[in-house]
């Protein structure tokens, strides 16, 4: 896939776990789990906004475009 969600990487860099993200964002456990694993095809703006605010990042820091080499 050409677009990656980088929450898991950011969590690792900052020493955060899924429980921390759940507490500071109010997102559901399942939402945080799939976002952290990068196993999601879409994310709603409300969730993206909560993550950006809680982590002091921009959407561009959470979402990476990595084109497939074909």
Model confidence, pTM: 0.87
- Map tokens 């993200």 to a residue: 21
Instruction: For 1-46, write each residue's pLDDT tens digit.
Output: 588 899 999 999 999 999 999 999 999 999 999 999 988 888 999 9
Cβ contacts of residue 37 below 8 Å, gap of 6+? 8
Walk me through the domains of the chain, giving residue ranges and CATH numbers.
Answer: 3-65 (1.10.260.40)
Element (H, E) at 6: none
């Amino acid at each position: 896939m050409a677009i990656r969600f980088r929450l898991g990487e950011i969590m690792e860099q900052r020493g955060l776990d899924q429980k921390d993200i759940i507490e500071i964002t109010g997102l559901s456990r399942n939402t945080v789990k799939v976002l952290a694993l990068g196993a999601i095809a879409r994310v709603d703006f409300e969730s993206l906004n909560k993550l950006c605010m809680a982590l002091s990042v921009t959407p561009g820091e959470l979402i990476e475009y990595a084109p497939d080499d074909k």
